[in-house]
Structure 1
Amino acid sequence: MDPIEPPSAPQFPMVTDTTRTSVSLAWSPPEEEGGSVITGYLIEMQKVDQVEWTMCNTTPIKICEYTLTHMPQGAEYKFRVMACNAGGPGEPVEIPGIVKVTEMLDYPDYELDPKYEEGYVVRQGGVIRLSVPIKGKPVPICKWTKEGRDISHRAMIATSDDITELVIKEAHRDDTGTYDLVLENKCGRKAVYINVKVIGRPDAPEGPLEFDDIQARSVRVSWRPPSEDGGSDILGYIVERREVSKVAWYTVDSRVVDTALVVKGLKENVEYHFKITAENKFGVSRSLKSDECVTPKTPLSPPEPPINPPEVMDVTKSTVALSWGRPKDDGGARITGYYVERREVSTENQPGEIDIISVAKDCITIHWLRPECDGGKEILGYWIEFRQAGESAWKKCNKERSKDRQFTMGGLMEATEYEFRILAENETGMSRPRRTAMGIKTKLSLGEAPSLKEDMADVITKLGESGTLTCQIIGRPLPEIRWYRYGKELIQSRKYKMSSDGRNHSLTVATDEQEDEGMYTCRASQ
Structure 2
Amino acid sequence: MSWKIEPLVEGSIYFFRVLAENEWGIGLPAETPEPLKISEVPQPPGKVTVLDVTRNSVSLKWEKPDHDGGSRISHYEIEMQSKDSDKWTLCAQCKYLETTVTSLAQGEEYQFRVIAVNSKGKSDSRLLANPVVVKDLVIEPDIRPKLTQYSVQVEGRWMKASFTNVIETVFTVLGLTEDCKYDFRIIARNAAGSISKPSESTGSITAKDEVDPPKCEVESVYSQVVIINAGETFTLEAAVQGKPIPTVQWFKSEALVENSARAEIMNSDFKAKLVVKDVIRVDGGQYTLLLTNVAGAKTVTFNVRVLDRPGPSQGPLTVSNVTCDKCSLSWLTPRADGRPAPKVVWTKDGQAIKETTRLNVSRTASSTILAIKEATRVDSGKYKITATNSIGEKVAEIGVIILDKPGPVTGPIKIEEVSSNYVNLAWEPPAYTGGCQINNYIVEKLKWSKMDGPLTERAQIEVTSSYTMLVIDNVNRFDTGKYVLTLENLSGQKSAFINVRVLDSPSAPENFEVKDIKRDSVSLSWEPPMIDGGAKVTHYIVEKRDTTRLAFTSVSNNCVRNSMKIDDLTEGGIYYFRVKAVNELGVGLPAETTEPIKVSQAPLPPGKVTVVDVTRDSVSLAWEKPDHDGGSKITSYTVEMQTKGDEKWSVCTEIKALEATIGGLTTGEEYAFRITAVNDKGNSEPKPLADPVIVKDITIEPIIDLMFNTYSVKAGHDLKIDVPFRGRPEPEVAWKKDGANSSKITIKDATREDFGKYEITLTNAVGKKSATIAVIILDKPGAPSAIKVDEVSADNISLSWDAPLYDGGCQIN
TM-score by shorter chain over 0.5: no
Q: Which is greater in Rg? A: 2
Q: TM-score, normalised by structure 1?
A: 0.29
